[in-house]
Amino acid sequence: MGDKAAIQIRDVDHVATAIEALDPGDVVKIRGAVQEYEIVAKEHIPRGHKIALRDIAEREEILKYGEIIGMATSPVPAGHWVHVHNCRGIKARRNPVAANPGDRNDA
Amino acid sequence: MMRNTKFMGYRRSDGSIGIRNHVLIIPTVSCVNRIAMDIANKAGGVTFMHPYGCTFDAEENAITEHSYIGHGLHPNVGAVLVLSLGCETASAARVAEAIAKSGKRVETLVVQREGGSRTTGAAGIELVRQMRRELDAQPREEGDISELLIALECGSSDAFSGLTANPAVGAAADRIVDAGGTVILSEVTEMVGAEHVLARRGKNDEIKQQLLSLIKRYEVDLSLSTEDDSGIFISPGNVAGGLTTIEEKSLGCIYKAGTRAITQIVGYGERPTQKGVIIMDTPGFDIASVTGKVAGGAHMVLFTTGKGTPAGSSVAPVVKISSNNKTFEHLREDTDISAGDILEGKKTIDQVGQEIADLVMEIANGKEAKGEYFNIQEFAIPNVSVVKKEVIHARLAEQNDFRFEQL
């Protein structure tokens, strides 16, 4: 193939999932929901991780599958990596990321 | 949109319509599995293998019998041979009687009365051949998609399942529901953590409440009975793989059911009475989950897979949809269609959804799914007693009552 690509599931989604690792400057083909289009990756994004398809404001709800998967905890410019460092679950009753199983926040 | 909504099937006396016309042999206890297999192979019937039928757990016995009955009543089944050993706790008489009420021909053979396994087998072969001839003479009648129940399942998933195959099946599910049909989503373990996402989909407050309490019950059971809380938490492995929140993780699985309103919550193996999107209470184990939905009358199962699996059902075609083209090529003889062209940019999710919807109608109309090559298939029920006992023990331990603690 040679092309770097990411899958967008619904046309309203704010993120697409990289099917291989992306590097800054890579032209990424966005496929899945819509006619293929391109976006430039702005930072390293591992395979299976999400790239922002447009600028996302702090506290904005992030959509994937046409549903809210979480809220931005800081502004995320288009082309950047969306993950636990800038997105958290809306109704997570527990800390979604445990550094190790022992210090899970079970409140 | 569905391009085709009609198929030719087999009308039953209870008004339902089957997409297959099987003679099903039900071994009421695992001790007679081999005889059932022999009869099925020699006389053109279908059957399943299982380790059930003799238990002193009343709930497990009831689920076992109900699952047999659900398979016997299944619209894809035209006639039934109940094959019993004679001393098992699952009652062949209760099973045969419940199925016969539908108007189907039901015969019963009891090994301990007939005079041995080979004599019983010979009698069974004769009966099944007779029933097969009767069913072969039955004319097909036109059925409509609104009469079909389509089960949704995922197993042996990979990183692409939630990106290609599940969303494509979701696109097909929306088409089926919009045309008046019904889809069944199950595997409640996968819904824990994303209940608020699902609850929004309930068609009214009652459904929303039922959904929340069903998921809550699972969450309590899981947290008390197992160390593996991957169904509740998002694991460090999930995070490393790119999943950020529990909502995202669950959506990858529940998105198979598309986007339409949830109209009914049913128990394990229970037959839905509503059209639309149904949620069934089943465990996450593929075989027990498929068995429950088929016992509830699912005509067909759409089964998405990343790595590929031959898992099937004795009475309902199980259609395999691979998440990538490599698995499709590698397991071509077990896989019906691939969603992998989405990854390669050759098709959109919606285009593959249309192909899956078209395939559903072709298979309803008689096209053989790859897995139908085998006439003997899997069967499993939820592991009731083990989970319940662990929960009870854990609850007692919380109150400093360690009577069940292993020393």
pLDDT, tens only, A3-19: 799 999 999 999 999 99
Average pLDDT over residues B285-307: 96
Chain B closest-CA separation from residue A16 CA (Å): 9
Q: Write down the pLDDT at residue A98.
A: 39
**How many other CB atoms sit within 10 Å of the CB of residue B392?**
13
pLDDT, tens digit, for every residue of A58-85?
A: 999 999 999 999 999 999 999 999 999 9
* Residue A96 to residue B350, Cβ atoms within 8 A: no
Non-local CB neighbours of B272 within 8 Å, separated by 6+ positions: B149, B182, B184, B264, B266, B278, B280, B296, B297
Residue B362 has pLDDT above 80, yes or no: yes
Mutate to test the interface with A, among B247, B249, B250, B326 (most CBs of A within 10 A): B247
Mutate to test the interface with B, among A1, A7, A74 (most CBs of B within 10 A): A7
Which residues in chain A have Cβ-Cβ distances shorter than 8 Å to B342?
A: 7, 31-32
* B221: three-class secondary structure by DSSP: helix
Residue B405 has pLDDT above 70, yes or no: no
Count of CB pairs separated by less than 8 Å, A with B: 101
Closest CA to B312 of B35, B48, B51, B18: B48
Average pLDDT over residues B187-196: 82
Average pLDDT over residues B344-365: 97
Mutate to test the interface with A, among B248, B260, B349 (most CBs of A within 10 A): B248
Which residues in chain B have Cβ-Cβ distances shorter than 8 Å to A31?
A: 342-343, 345, 348
pLDDT, tens digit, for every residue of B240-271?
A: 888 898 888 888 888 999 999 999 999 999 99
> Would you state the structure tokens that stand for residue B181, as one six-digit string?
């049909």
Amino acid making up residue B355: E
Q: Which residues of A touch B (CB under 8 A)?
A: 1, 3, 5, 7, 9, 17-19, 29, 31-36, 46-50, 64-70, 82-84, 87-92, 94, 96-98, 100, 104
Q: Write down the pLDDT at residue B185.
A: 96
Secondary structure of B23-89 as H, E, C letters: EEEEECCHHHHHHHHHHHHHHCCEEECCCCCCCCCHHHHHHHHHHHHHHHHCCCEEEEEEEECCCCC
- Are B178 and B328 contacting, i.e. CB atoms less than 8 angstroms apart? no
Mutate to test the interface with A, among B244, B249, B255 (most CBs of A within 10 A): B244
- Which of A7, A65, A94 is nearest residue B343 as measured by Cβ atoms? A7
pLDDT band at A104 (very low <50, low <70, confident <90, very high): very low
Residue A97 has pLDDT above 90, yes or no: no
Q: Write down the pLDDT at residue A106.
A: 35
The pairing of strands A4-8 and A15-18 is antiparallel
Distance (Å, rounded) from C-alpha B371 to C-alpha B334?
A: 6
pTM of the model: 0.90
Distance (Å, rounded) from C-alpha A32 to C-alpha A51?
A: 14
Residue B187 has pLDDT above 50, yes or no: yes
Chain B closest-CA separation from residue A97 CA (Å): 7
> Would you state the structure tokens that stand for residue B385, as one six-digit string?
């007693």
* Residue A88 to residue B196, Cβ atoms within 8 A: no
What are the contacts of B326-329 at 24+ separation with CB within 8 A?
B327/B158
* Residue B248 to residue A69, Cβ atoms within 8 A: yes
Residue B403 has pLDDT above 70, yes or no: no
Q: Write down the pLDDT at residue B392.
A: 64
ipTM: 0.85
- Which of B241, B251, B259 is nearest residue A48 as measured by Cβ atoms? B241
Work out the mean pLDDT of chain B and round it to a whole number: 91
- Are B288 and B381 contacting, i.e. CB atoms less than 8 angstroms apart? yes
Residue A94 has pLDDT above 70, yes or no: no
The pairing of strands B77-84 and B22-27 is parallel
Helices vs. strands in chain A: H and E counts, helices first:
0, 9
Its CATH class, for the domain covering B22-137, is alpha beta
Which residues in chain B have Cβ-Cβ distances shorter than 8 Å to A18?
A: 242
pLDDT band at B159 (very low <50, low <70, confident <90, very high): confident
Distance (Å, rounded) from C-alpha A92 to C-alpha B378?
A: 37
Range list of β-strands (E), B104-173: 105-110, 141-144, 149-155
Helix, strand, coil proportions of chain A in percent (round to 5)?
5, 35, 60
CATH level 3 topology of A4-102? 2.30.130
Distance (Å, rounded) from C-alpha B368 to C-alpha B379?
A: 20
- Which of B239, B247, B248 is nearest residue A97 as measured by Cβ atoms? B239
Residue B49 has pLDDT above 60, yes or no: yes
DSSP B243-301: --SHHHHHHHHHGGGTTSPEEEEE-TTPPP-SSEEEEE---S-HHHHHHHHHHTT-SEE
Question: Looking up tokens 């992998």, which residue turns up?
Answer: B340
Rounded to 5°, angle at Cα B318 from B312 and B324 = 105
- Could you state, in order of their start, the residue ranges of all structural domains in chain A? 4-102
Q: What is the DSSP letter of B235?
A: P
Average pLDDT over residues B181-187: 96
pLDDT, tens digit, for every residue of B137-152?
A: 999 999 999 999 999 9
- Which of A32, A69, A94 is nearest residue B342 as measured by Cβ atoms? A32
